[in-house]
C-alpha cells in the first residue's frame, strides 16, 4: 500500500533574483512504471510544505489500483525520458504533464518508508538506505546543475552531484536489468557526449529492443553482439532487482492483490470473474509460513542477489524445489550463495538468466549436495563451464541445457556419472560425432537432441546386426527437427541395446516416403526393440505387420543381392546388408521369402484378387476341410462371419491363424479383425486354421 504523498512547493530560500530558475518537474514511479509526471512551474516566493496521505493528496487514487507494489521510490527531478519517448539521448525538451485534480503549483513525489530529507543549501546529501540509493533534495546545487544542463538533453542530474547515480549500484557493469518487459545487460555506465547526466548502456536480450551497436554520434561506448542490440537508458528506468528473500516474501508472505481481490463471503474475484473459494484464509495463512514451504516459484520476480544469507537459512529450511527462472541473476556465484543456504534443495531452475560462470574450479559448494534436477536453459553456459560446475553436483540426475549455443562437447570423465537425463536441444552441435564424447555416461537413460543440427548418427564400434557399447543405458532418444537425411542413421539406432522410445519427426529422411503409414512401418521394422515412436505406443500386432511388410517389400532386392531361402546358398552382398541390416533377422523370425511369394503385381481383376484357401478345424477332426475362394481384401471380421454360416459358431468365439504352404508347421495368428487377408501375406494354397 502506498504510504503517503509529499506535497512540495517552491520556497523563497532557494529563489534567485539575479537568475530566474528553470523549474524541474517531478516524476512518480514504481520500479518499472512511470505513474505520474508533474511539471507546472511554481511562482517565485511561494513557500508551502505539507505532508498528506495518499488518498487525501490524490483524489483520483482510484486510478492507482491498490495492487501497485510498495517499492515506489524512483523520485527524480526533470524527466529523463526524451521527448520522443525513446531511450537514446534526445535534444527535445521533455514534455511535462499536469496532474489532474491537484493544484497547478503542487509537485508530488511518493516515498515509501523514507523520512523527509531536510532541505538546506549546499550539496546534495544522501537519504536513508533505499532501493534508489540516494534521495535527491531540491537545493541550490541541484538548481545550479539544472541551469547548467544543456537544453533539450533530457538529463535529470549532473555528474558533479552524488544524486547523479541515483539507483545505480557500484557494481552496475555486467549486471542484469529489466525495463518494462525487456531484459538486458549493463555494458556501460557514464556520460554520453553532448548530454548531461549518467546513462546506462544496455545490451538487450532481444535485439529488436535496441537501436545501435553501442555507439552514439561516432563514439563507441560499448560493444554488442548484434549491430542493433544496444541502447542507452537513464538509471531511473532500469530495474536492478531485489534480493531472493524479499522476492519470496512478496510472493508468498503477503496477500497477492494484483490478480486476486476478495469479494463477499466465500467469493474471490480474478480480474472480472467471481468464483467461490473455500478456505482462502487458511491457504493464505499456510503460504505465509515460509519456513514450511517446500516448493516455491519466484519466476520473473526481479531477483538479482542473495541478500542476507543467514536469514535465508532460517526462512527456507524446508525448501526442496526452487524456480528462479527469468530473473536478474548475473553470476553463478549468486546461485551458489542462495543454494548453499537451502540444505535440502533437490530441484533448481535458473533458466533464462544470462549469467557469468566460473572459468576455473575454485571451490565446490555443498549447497548442491542433494540436487537432483537442474535447469540451465538460456543461460549462456558452455560445455566446459558445465564440467567445471558439475564437480559440485555429486548426485545430479537431470540436466537441462537447452538454447545455450553449445557447439563442442568434451568427455565428462569424472563428473555427471549419475546423470539420467540430458537435454541439449537447440544447441547447434558441430556434428553427430560429438555424441561419442558423452556416450560413456553409464546411467544416461534419456537424451534430448531436438534441433541440434546433427545430420548423421554412427556407432563405429559395432557391425551389422551387433550392439554398440556406447550409451549402454539409453532408453529414450529425441532427434526430431534435425538434418538427418539418410536411412542409414535409423539403421544405426538398432545398435543401441536399451533403446525403447524414439522421436524422429521433422527430418529430411521422412520426406523420402509419401505415405506416413509406410514411413512408420519402415522405422518400426528397422529398430527391433522400439516400443514408442513419436509418442505413440507400438502394439505387438503393429510390429508384426510392419516386419512382414518390410520382409515382402524388400524381398526382391534381397534375392537379387544373393539372398536365398536355403541357408547354404544365402549370401547377400554387403551393400544390401548395409541398407537393410535387420533383414537376416526377419528371415529367421518369419522365414525367408521365395520367388513365387515376391511375384510382380497382377492386373486388378476379380480372378487375380481371389485366394484359394483351405479351412481346417485342427481340434475338431469330425469337421472336414473346406476349400474356399476369398478376395484378398476381405477382412478377418468378414471371414469370421463366413465361418459362422459354415460352422454355426459365433465369430467372437473363433480364433484364426494360417499356415503357409511353403513353411509347414509355421503358424501366423490372425488377431486383428479389421485387417484384410493380404495384410498377413496370405497366398493361394495356404490353410486357415479355426479354433474355438
What's the confidence (pLDDT) of residue 259?
A: 47
431, part of any domain: yes
**CA distance linking residue 317 with residue 677, whole number of Å:** 67
pLDDT over 70, % of the chain? 69
Q: What band does 132 get if pLDDT is binned at 50, 70 and 90?
A: very low
Angle at 504 between CA 498 and CA 510, to 5 degrees: 130
Report which of residues 255 and 383 the model is more confident about.
Answer: 383
Check: CB of residue 353 under 8 Å from CB of residue 379: yes
- Position 143 pLDDT exceeds 80: no
The predicted pLDDT at position 165 comes to: 53
Instruction: Check residue 151 and give its pLDDT.
Output: 28
More confident residue, 61 or 356: 356
CA separation, residue 431 to residues 386, 401, 407, 638 (Å)? 20, 18, 9, 53
Whether 528 and 568 map to the same domain: the answer is: no
Same domain for 672 and 562 = no
pLDDT of residue 385: 94
Task: Say yes or no: 581 and 642 in one domain.
Answer: no
Counting Cβ atoms within 10 Å, is residue 478 exposed (0-12), middle (13-18) or buried (19+)?
Answer: buried
What band does 96 get if pLDDT is binned at 50, 70 and 90?
Answer: very low
pLDDT at 48 over 50: no
Lowest mean pLDDT among 78-92, 339-353, 490-504, 671-685: 78-92
In a domain, 243, yes or no: no
519, 662: one domain? no
**DSSP character at residue 391:** G
Whether 671 and 567 map to the same domain: the answer is no
**Rounded Cα gap, residues 145 and 139, in angstroms:** 10
Give mean pLDDT, residues 73-82: 35
Confidence at residue 453, expressed as pLDDT on a 0 to 100 scale: 94
Give the pLDDT confidence score for residue 157 in this predicted structure.
36
In this predicted structure, what is the pLDDT of residue 603?
A: 47
> Does 570 lie in the same domain as 514?
no
Q: What is the pLDDT of residue 3?
A: 39
Return mean pLDDT, the chain.
Answer: 76
The reply to whether 390 and 464 lie within a common domain is yes
Residue 282: the pLDDT is 63
Give me the torsion for CA of 381, 382, 384, 386, rounded to 10°: 40
Q: Which of 369, 378, 372 is nearest to 399 (CA)?
A: 372
Report which of 161, 148, 165, 162 is spatially closest to residue 199, judged by C-alpha positions.
165
The answer on 494 and 395 residing in a single domain is yes
Q: Is position 472 within any domain? A: yes
Which residues make Cβ contacts (< 8 Å) with residue 283, sequence separation at least 6?
Answer: none
Please tell me which residue, 326 or 686, carries the higher pLDDT value.
326
Q: In this structure, are 415 and 505 located in the same domain? A: yes
pLDDT tens per residue across span 626-650: 888 888 888 988 888 888 888 888 8
Confidence of residue 94 (pLDDT cuts 50, 70, 90): very low
The domain tally of the chain equals: 3
Give the mean pLDDT of 330-340: 94
Q: What percent of the chain has pLDDT over 90?
A: 46
Domain boundary at 513, 547, 581, which?
547
Residues 581 and 650 in one domain: no
The CATH number given to whatever domain includes residue 410 is 3.80.10.10
pLDDT of residue 134: 33
Query: What average pLDDT does this structure show over 185-206?
Result: 94
pLDDT band at 127 (very low <50, low <70, confident <90, very high): very low
Q: What is the mean pLDDT of residues 662-684?
A: 82
pLDDT for 503-559, tens place per residue? Answer: 999 999 999 888 899 999 999 999 999 999 999 999 999 999 999 999 988 998 998
Long-range contacts of 536-543, Cβ-Cβ distance < 8 Å, separation of 24 or more: 541/671, 541/672
**Is residue 523 a part of any domain in this protein?**
yes
**Between residues 342 and 167, the one the model is more confident about:** 342
CA distances from 76 to 14, 166, 236, 422, 452 (A): 18, 8, 8, 49, 48
| pLDDT, average across residues 124-151 | 35
The 10s digit of each residue's pLDDT in 577-625 is 999 999 999 998 988 887 666 655 444 444 556 888 889 898 888 888 8
pTM above 0.95, yes or no: no
**Segment 246-296, tens digit of pLDDT:** 999 998 875 444 445 545 556 666 667 777 766 656 656 665 678 888 999
What pLDDT, on a 0 to 100 scale, did the predictor assign at position 266?
A: 61
Q: Which domain holds residue 319?
A: 292-547
**222: in domain:** no
CATH number (domain holding residue 684): 3.10.20.90
Indicate the range of 19-28, 40-49, 269-278, 362-371 predicted with least confidence: 40-49
- Same domain (yes/no): 451, 353: yes
**CA 63 to each of CA 21, 35, 40: distance values in angstroms, whole numbers, following the listed order:** 33, 10, 21
Query: Given this model, what pLDDT does residue 268 score?
Result: 65
The answer to whether residue 2 is domain-embedded is: no
- For the ranges 20-24, 139-143, 258-262, the maximum mean pLDDT occurs at 258-262
Rounded distance between C-alpha atoms, residue 121 and residue 137, angstroms: 10
Task: Let me know whether 537 and 568 are in one domain.
Answer: no
pLDDT of residue 107 exceeding 90: no
Q: Would you state the pLDDT for residue 154?
A: 33
The answer to whether position 403 is within a domain reads: yes
- Helix (H), strand (E) counts: the chain: 15, 32
Question: Which residues on adjacent β-strands are paired with residue 333?
Answer: none
Q: Grid coordinates representing 322?
A: 526452487
Lowest mean pLDDT among 1-5, 130-134, 386-390: 130-134
DSSP code for 294: -
User: What does the pLDDT look like over 450-461, one tens digit per residue?
Assistant: 999 999 999 999
**341 domain-assigned:** yes
Amino acid at each position: 500500500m502506498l504510504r503517503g504523498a509529499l506535497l512540495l512547493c517552491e520556497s523563497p530560500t532557494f529563489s534567485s533574483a539575479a537568475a530566474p530558475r528553470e523549474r524541474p518537474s517531478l516524476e512518480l514511479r514504481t520500479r518499472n512504471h512511470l505513474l505520474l509526471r508533474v511539471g507546472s512551474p511554481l511562482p517565485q516566493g511561494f513557500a508551502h510544505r505539507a505532508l498528506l496521505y495518499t488518498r487525501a493528496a490524490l483524489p483520483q487514487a482510484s486510478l492507482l489500483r491498490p495492487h501497485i507494489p510498495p517499492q515506489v521510490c524512483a523520485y527524480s527531478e526533470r524527466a529523463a525520458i526524451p521527448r520522443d519517448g525513446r531511450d537514446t539521448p534526445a535534444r527535445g525538451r521533455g514534455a511535462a504533464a499536469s496532474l489532474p485534480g491537484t493544484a497547478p503549483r503542487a509537485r508530488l513525489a511518493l516515498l515509501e518508508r523514507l523520512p523527509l530529507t531536510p532541505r538546506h543549501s549546499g550539496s546534495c546529501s544522501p537519504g536513508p538506505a533505499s532501493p534508489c540509493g540516494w534521495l535527491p533534495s531540491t537545493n541550490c546545487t541541484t538548481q545550479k546543475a539544472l541551469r547548467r544542463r544543456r537544453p533539450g538533453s533530457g538529463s535529470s542530474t549532473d555528474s558533479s552531484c552524488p544524486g547523479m547515480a541515483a539507483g545505480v549500484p557500484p557494481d552496475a557493469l555486467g549486471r542484469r536489468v529489466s525495463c518494462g518487459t525487456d531484459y538486458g545487460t549493463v555494458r556501460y555506465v557514464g556520460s554520453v557526449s553532448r548530454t548531461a547526466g549518467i546513462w546506462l548502456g544496455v545490451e538487450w536480450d532481444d535485439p529488436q529492443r535496441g537501436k545501435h551497436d553501442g555507439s552514439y554520434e561516432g563514439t563507441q561506448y560499448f560493444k554488442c553482439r548484434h549491430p542493433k542490440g544496444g541502447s542507452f537508458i537513464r538509471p531511473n528506468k532500469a530495474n536492478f532487482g531485489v534480493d531472493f528473500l524479499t522476492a519470496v516474501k512478496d510472493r508468498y508472505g503477503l496477500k497477492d492483490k494484483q490478480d486476486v481481490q476478495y469479494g463477499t463471503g466465500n467469493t474471490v474475484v480474478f480480474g472480472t470473474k467471481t468464483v467461490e473459494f473455500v478456505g482462502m484464509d487458511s491457504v493464505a495463512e499456510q503460504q505465509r509460513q515460509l519456513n514450511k514451504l517446500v516448493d516455491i516459484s519466484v519466476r520473473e520476480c526481479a531477483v538479482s542477489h542473495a541478500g542476507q544469507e543467514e536469514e535465508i537459512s532460517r526462512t527456507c529450511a524446508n525448501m526442496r524445489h526452487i524456480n528462479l527462472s527469468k530473473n536478474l541473476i548475473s553470476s553463478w556465484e549468486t546461485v551458489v550463495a542462495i543454494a548453499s543456504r537451502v540444505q535440502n534443495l533437490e530441484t533448481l531452475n535458473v533458466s533464462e538468466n544470462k549469467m557469468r560462470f566460473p572459468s576455473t574450479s575454485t571451490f565446490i559448494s555443498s549447497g548442491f549436495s542433494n540436487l537432483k534436477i537442474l535447469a540451465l536453459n538460456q543461460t549462456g553456459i558452455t560445455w566446459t563451464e558445465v564440467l567445471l560446475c558439475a564437480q559440485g553436483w555429486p548426485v545430479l540426475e537431470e540436466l537441462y541445457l537447452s538454447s545455450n549455443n553449445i557447439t563442442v562437447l568434451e568427455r565428462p570423465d569424472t563428473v555427471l556419472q549419475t546423470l539420467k537425463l540430458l537435454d541439449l536441444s537447440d544447441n547447434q552441435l558441430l556434428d553427430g560425432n560429438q555424441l561419442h564424447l558423452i556416450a560413456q555416461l553409464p546411467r544416461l537413460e534419456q537424451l534430448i537432441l531436438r534441433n541440434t543440427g546433427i545430420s548423421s548418427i554412427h556407432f563405429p564400434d559395432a557391425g551389422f546386426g551387433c550392439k554398440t557399447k556406447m550409451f549402454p543405458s539409453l532408453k529414450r532418444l529425441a532427434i526430431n527437427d534435425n538434418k538427418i537425411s539418410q536411412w542409414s542413421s535409423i539403421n544405426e539406432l538398432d545398435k543401441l541395446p536399451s533403446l525403447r522410445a524414439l522421436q524422429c519427426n521433422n527430418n529430411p529422411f521422412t520426406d523420402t516416403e509419401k505415405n506416413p503409414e509406410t514411413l512408420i512401418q519402415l522405422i518400426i521394422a528397422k529398430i527391433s526393440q522400439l516400443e514408442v515412436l513419436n509418442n505413440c505406443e507400438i502394439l505387438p500386432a503393429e510390429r508384426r505387420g510392419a516386419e512382414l511388410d518390410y520382409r515382402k517389400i524388400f524381398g526382391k532386392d534381397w534375392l537379387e543381392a544373393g539372398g536365398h531361402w536355403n541357408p547354404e546358398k544365402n549370401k547377400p552382398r554387403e551393400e544390401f546388408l548395409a541398407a537393410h541390416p535387420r533383414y537376416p533377422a526377419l528371415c529367421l523370425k518369419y522365414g525367408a521369402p521365395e520367388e513365387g511369394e515376391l511375384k510382380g503385381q497382377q492386373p486388378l481383376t476379380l480372378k487375380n484378387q481371389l485366394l484359394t484357401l483351405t479351412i481346417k478345424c485342427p481340434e475338431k477332426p469330425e469337421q472336414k476341410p473346406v476349400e474356399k475362394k476369398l478376395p484378398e481384401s476381405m477382412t478377418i471380421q468378414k471371414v469370421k462371419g463366413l465361418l459362422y454360416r459354415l460352422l454355426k459358431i459365433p465369430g467372437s468365439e473363433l480364433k484364426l491363424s494360417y499356415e503357409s504352404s511353403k513353411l509347414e508347421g509355421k503358424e501366423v495368428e490372425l488377431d486383428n479383425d479389421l485387417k484384410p487377408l493380404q495384410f498377413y501375406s496370405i497366398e493361394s494354397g495356404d490353410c486357415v486354421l479355426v479354433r474355438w
